[in-house]
Amino acid sequence: MPFSLTAVKIGVATRPARPRRISILGATGSIGESTLDLIGRDPPAYRVVALTGGQNVARLAELAILHRAELAVIADPSRYADLHTALAGTGIEAGAGHEALLDAASRPADWVMAAIVGAAGLKPTLQAVRQGTSTALANKECLVSAGAIFMAEVARANTILLPVDSEHSAAMQIMAGAPKERIERICLTASGGPFRGWSREQMAEARPEQALNHPNWSMGPKVTIDSATLMNKGLELLEAHHLFSLAPSQLDVITHPQSIVHCLVYLSDGAVLAQMSCPDMRTPIAYSLAWPERMHVPTKRLDLAEIGALTFEAPDMERFPALRVAKEVLAAGGSAGTVLNAANEVAVEAFLAKRIGFLAIAALVETALEKSDDLAKLSPQNVDDVLAIDSETRLRATALLGRFA
């Protein structure tokens, strides 16, 4: 079943009669590594079916051997021989390429972590959803690019969809005890990233290594850059719109530099509910892994006396226009989210390659949206339609790079 505000039942934690079958799509990324850290603390409770990675063959093989995976798949088909050699004699099956990723996602499992970054994770995640069990969603692009189509697949398969983003996990935890009709709005928190106190002039000179130096969270490069531009928060608004079936007017963002409060839910009686924890992705991952129960997680415990103060401020959308652009896309609907996501992936990749400056990320995305208004108005009927829009947008955004070099 898809996530329902009334679906959560808290029970007494007991070990299942058999180990839970677990697959992790994107095992070598930060979310995948954190998930395996939790699983590795209680090996008898889990059976690792499949692990996938992008290009890091050595790390994927190491993780597969350590956790006794049945299958390991590298996304880059040219690395198959390297993976096969690294797993020789272990009994672990090796695979490579797109079809192998889909095979890994379709292997019978009780719980699948979908953590492949970007639009590349769309088809494998859908394949996992179609199993009709539990899918932990760490790939926000699935909902940003193909929200209506993706959620329809979730409902058709009767899959339990468990959000892993700290903000959406927090919202799920809070909303489990509140009737949907009593929820006025959800406010996601943003740390503000490494440039929260920087001027536009300073950000114009920002280098990738500075943008990757997040003050609170340890994340992969794509998500970290998105956090620095505040695009990450804009993408999360689109994600929340589809996850919780809320109108754009019911979704907002507030800057909270300490990253202790992850979400605020405003109720019709005037109450505001918050979920708090130290910034560690193992907390929301564990919530999805143990749902509907709770599990022990060796994270730092929150000490409010030690922190002393929690502060909040309105996001500055003049210095961080990416959030404004994403809000406009949320209001526009249609395929605008697909265009936004594709253009942003091109822009972030170009910034990391030092082809464009930091401020050019949002500028390029906004220009790509203007140049792709025809694509944004399309009504895709299936995933292939979405990926066609995604592909065409990438071509147009790439053609614009010279303007922002």
C-alpha dist (Å) from residue 123 to 70, 153, 173, 275, 361? 21, 12, 28, 32, 26
Place of tokens 């928060």: 233
Chain mean position to CA 213? 19
Which of 126, 148, 164 is at the close of a domain?
A: 164
93 and 216 share one domain: no
What's the token pair of residue 254?
């507030």
**Phi, psi at 255, each rounded to 5°:** -80, 130
User: So what's the pLDDT on residue 50?
Assistant: 98
User: So what's the pLDDT on residue 9?
Assistant: 33
Is there a domain that residue 296 lies in? no
Is there a domain that residue 339 lies in? yes
Spatial separation of the C-alpha atoms in residues 374 and 290, rounded to whole Å: 44
Is there a domain that residue 248 lies in? yes
191 and 206 share one domain: yes
Domain limits for position 369: 169-279+315-404
What's the token pair of residue 213?
């130096």
User: So what's the pLDDT on residue 4?
Assistant: 43
Question: Residue-wise pLDDT tens for the chain (405 aa)?
Answer: 444 443 333 333 445 568 999 999 999 999 999 999 999 999 999 999 999 999 999 999 999 999 999 999 999 999 999 999 999 999 999 999 999 999 999 999 999 999 998 888 999 999 999 999 999 999 988 999 999 999 999 999 999 999 999 999 999 999 987 788 899 999 999 999 999 999 999 999 999 999 999 888 777 899 899 999 999 999 999 999 999 999 999 999 999 999 999 999 999 999 999 999 999 999 999 999 999 999 999 999 999 999 999 999 999 999 999 999 999 999 999 999 999 999 999 999 999 999 999 999 999 999 999 999 999 999 999 999 999 999 999 999 999 999 998
Model pTM greater than 0.85?
A: yes
Is there a domain that residue 223 lies in? yes
Is there a domain that residue 273 lies in? yes
Chain mean position to CA 390? 18
The answer to whether the CB of 24 falls within 8 A of the CB of 50 is yes
Say whether 227 sits in a helix, a strand or coil.
helix
User: So what's the pLDDT on residue 15?
Assistant: 52
89 and 135 share one domain: yes
User: So what's the pLDDT on residue 16?
Assistant: 58
Spatial separation of the C-alpha atoms in residues 289 and 134, rounded to whole Å: 9
DSSP 235-288: HHHHHHHHHHT--GGGEEEEE-TT--EEEEEEETTS-EEEEE--S-THHHHHHH
Is there a domain that residue 10 lies in? no
Beta bridge partners of 134: 111, 160
SS3 sequence of 75-144: CCHHHHHHHHHHCCCCCCEEEECHHHHHHHHHCCCCEEEECCCCHHHHHHHHHHHCCCCEEEECCCHHHH
145 and 173 share one domain: no
- Please state the domain count of the chain: 2
What's the token pair of residue 314?
């309105």
User: So what's the pLDDT on residue 2?
Assistant: 44
Q: Residue 175 belongs to a domain with what CATH number?
A: 1.10.1740.10
174 and 160 share one domain: no
Spatial separation of the C-alpha atoms in residues 266 and 221, rounded to whole Å: 32
Question: Nearest CA to 34 among 297, 254, 401, 227?
Answer: 297
Which of 164, 199, 225 is at the close of a domain?
A: 164
Q: Residue 37 belongs to a domain with what CATH number?
A: 3.40.50.720
98 and 233 share one domain: no
